[in-house]
Structures are given as C-alpha cells and as structure tokens.
Amino acid sequence: MPTVDIHTHMYPPTLLSLLRTRSHVPYVRTFPDQVEAGERLVILPAEEASTGTSRGRPMGPEYHDIKQKIAFMDLHAIDVSVLSLANPWLDWLAKEEGVEVARGVNDDVEGMCKAYRGRLYHFGTLPLSADVGVIVGEVRRLRGLRFCRGVVMGTSGLGEGLDDSRLDGIWRAIEEAEMVVFLHPHYGLPGDVYGPRAGDYGHVLALAMGFPMETTIAVTRMLLSGVFDRFSKLNVLLAHSGGTLPFLAGRIESCIAHDAHMKKAGALENRRDVWDVLKKNIYLDAVIYSDVGVKAAIDASGADRLMFGTDHPFFPPLEGEGQEWLSVTSNNNAVRAAMGSDVQGVKDIMGGNAVRILHLDS
C-alpha cells in the first residue's frame, strides 16, 4: 500500500513567472535593501505592511521546483503526492486574465504529473474571477486531464463566500465530474482578534487559529445555505482535518436547533445535519498534528474518509534542525498513535483511502 500525501502545495513555474511581475500581494520579489535575504514570497496584505526581512517568507526552490518535491517525497517515504496550487491560488486575478492563466497553470502541473507518472496527481485551480460559464468550462476541461482528480479552492468563492448561490452551476459541474473540492484557508481572521501582543508570538495565532476557523466558517456556511442539500453527492476535502469542524459539529447542530430565526424561516425542516454531511460529503486530511485531533476527525467522519497530508513546503524545519521535517513526522506519528494496533487502519489513512477515493490506481 503506497503512502500518499494529499495536502502538498507548489507555485508552478507558470505562476511563479507571473508572481515575479507583480507589485501587489501576492508577489515574489527580492527587496533591494535586503538582497541577502533572497527572493521573498509575499501572499498576505499583513505581510506587505511589515518591514525588514519579515516581509513575506523566503522563497526557496521547494516552492516551485518539482525536483525538490520529489526529493522531499523520497526523504519521507511518500510514494504519491496529489499536488495543489498554494494559496491564494488565482483568487486575485483580473477577470479577463483568469481563464488563460488557469489553463496555463493546470497544464503546467499536469505536465509534471506526466513526467513523474505514478508518483504525482493534482487538484486543478479554477479561474474564479471569470464568469461562471467560463469556470464551468475549466471544470470540464480538468475532468479530461489524465492526472487531475479535483479542484483546490479557497473560501472566497466568487468574492462573497461559498454560500453564494451563484456558485451552484460550479458545484453542479464538479459533482457531475465526480471531482473532489479541496477546500483550503488563506484569509484567516482579522488581525485585531489576536490582541495587542500578537506580534510577540510570530505567526502562531494567525496560523493555528485563523486558518482552521476560516475553514470551519466556510464549510458551515455551505451547510447552512443548503449546498449539501442541493448537491448531495458533492465531495469536499477539508484542509487541516476540517479546521475545527469535527469538534464543533455538535455545537453547530445545537445552535441550529435552538435558533428561532431559522425555525421561523422554515430552514430547520428537511435539512441534512452536519453529521450526515460529515459522513457522506466531507473528506478530511490528517494534518492536525495530534492523535487527539486524528481521533476526533475519525469519530466525526469515519476512518475511511481521512487522508494523510504534509502541507509541504510550509512548516519547514527551523534553522539548525534536522533534515527530516517535524511537521511530517508529527502527523505521521499522530495517525499511528490514534490507530494503535490497527495496522490496516494506519495503511488506509496513510494512503489506501486516497487511492480509493481519488482513483490513484487508474
């Protein structure tokens, strides 16, 4: 049974060239006053505001060079990776350039998968700034690509979130194509929720809290707006084990059941509850860094719906630390600790589920 990494990002060369021409986030630049810091990747408005070498992050070859991805996979005994474009994907493109860039990026990544046949698959990227018809067209085109198994998507949708009914045509096309939506956070929470001392804690609060909460809000908005009622076969893979969805699912249902406004609006009748959706529409990655989290994810969604991931190339080892990535070993250990003596269960989460769900054997 292969080990499969379904949460692993890159900025393929086509996109990187574009990022190097830009002067607003997201962009890649070597700052004249800090040439020694090398190329920096700046993807968030908050990063742009800061000064010094804290502007963005170092942009090494692991972000764009497929050879580095393969070397990382070899080092950690990962047999297969399902690549996805890193955030913020193509959310920021102007309407008219969207489709061309998306096609270029998707074909670029498809080419990598072809070059490393059997080791790489991918989730494509949609030109969400384009018209819905154009986006649907790209979904159908992706369906025809040999190594594409779904689409990666942020929480912004067409700019108003994933509970926007204008997305229905896109959900329908994805459902018909039997592709998976890999839902991933990018925007986090407004910086002031972390208080006046947040800077003392580096990126900890924004990454540890903002990302998972963004994902949880996004998928709950899909639930509340009836997306899973209308598209009962839509499959959504949630990053970071669902953000906080497995833990908060009970509270979400309780809040719905107690909401006078929703009851009055008739929204409580004939709705699928979060548990039903968790078990039939949601897949979760196992990027949660603890056996407590892995167990809760399994309890909520099922051991047959959890899939190992690394989040590479993010969370690299700190300077002076070993070659092997702590972020990888801690997720690997979490799966093993959660499953105990269930060796087959470990194999399923580490790769078997991904092979079955994403048809990686065909």
Query: Between residue 125 and residue 164, which ones bind a copy of itself under the rule CB under 8 A?
Result: 160-161, 163-164
Q: Which stretch, 60-68, 100-108, 187-195, 350-358, contacts a copy of itself (CB under 8 A)? A: 187-195
Q: Return d(Cα 83, Cα 122) in angstroms, integer.
A: 4
Q: What is the DSSP string of 295-356?
A: HHHHHHH-GGGEE----BTSSPPPTTS-SS-HHHHHHHHHHHHHHTT-HHHHHIIIIIHHHH
Measured in whole angstroms, the distance separating CA 261 from the mean position of its chain's CA atoms is 33
Q: Which of 249, 307, 350, 354 binds a copy of itself (CB under 8 A)?
A: 249
Segment contacting a copy of itself (CB under 8 A): 62-70, 91-99, 106-114, 199-207? 199-207
The smaller minimum CB distance to a copy of itself, of residues 82 and 248, is found at: 248
Residue 171 in contact with a copy of itself, rule: CB under 8 A: no
Give bridge partners of residue 9 from the DSSP assignment.
84
- Give the shortest CB-287-to-a copy of itself separation in angstroms: 8
Question: Do residues 89 and 41 lie in contact, with contact meaning Cβ atoms separated by under 8 Å?
Answer: no
Among 46, 132, 158, 326, binds a copy of itself (CB under 8 A): 326
Structure tokens at 218: 């996004």
The answer to whether residue 322 forms part of the interface with a copy of itself (CB under 8 A) is no
- Asked if 68 touches a copy of itself (CB under 8 A), the answer is no
Structure tokens belonging to residue 258: 């107690």
Indicate which single residue of 32, 144, 190, 322 sits in contact with a copy of itself (rule: CB under 8 A).
190
Helices 211-224, 245-257: inter-axial angle, 10-degree rounding:
40
Which 267-306 positions form the footprint of a copy of itself (CB under 8 A)?
Answer: 267, 288-293, 295-296, 299-300
Do the strands 27-29 and 148-153 form a parallel or antiparallel pair, or are they unpaired? unpaired
**Token pair 């809040």 in the structure block, residue:** 255
* Among the listed residues 217, 237, 306, 307, the single contact to a copy of itself using CB under 8 A: 217
Q: Of 87-116, which residues contact a copy of itself (CB under 8 A)?
A: none
Q: Give the one residue of 38, 61, 202, 340 binding a copy of itself; rule: CB under 8 A.
A: 202
- Minimal distance, residue 317 CB to a copy of itself, in Å: 8
Helix, coil or strand: residue 10: strand
One-letter identity of residue 130 = A
How are beta strands 148-153 and 40-42 bridged, if at all? unpaired
What is the spatial distance between Cα 98 and Cα 267, in angstroms, rounded to a whole number? Answer: 36
- Residues whose CB falls within 8 Å of the CB of residue 66, separated by 6 or more in sequence, listed in order: 10, 12, 112, 115, 116, 120
- Residue count, binding to a copy of itself (CB under 8 A): 73
Binding residue for a copy of itself, selected from 107, 169, 302, 327, defined by CB under 8 A: 327
Residue 166 binds to a copy of itself (criterion: CB under 8 A): no
Q: Which of 68, 213, 304, 347 touches a copy of itself by CB under 8 A?
A: 213
Distance of CA 176 to the CA centre of its chain: 21
Residues 13-42 that bind a copy of itself (CB under 8 A): none
The interaxial angle of helices 95-115 and 132-143, nearest 10 deg, is 10
User: Which of these segments, 37-45, 114-122, 134-142, 255-263, binds a copy of itself (CB under 8 A)?
Assistant: 255-263
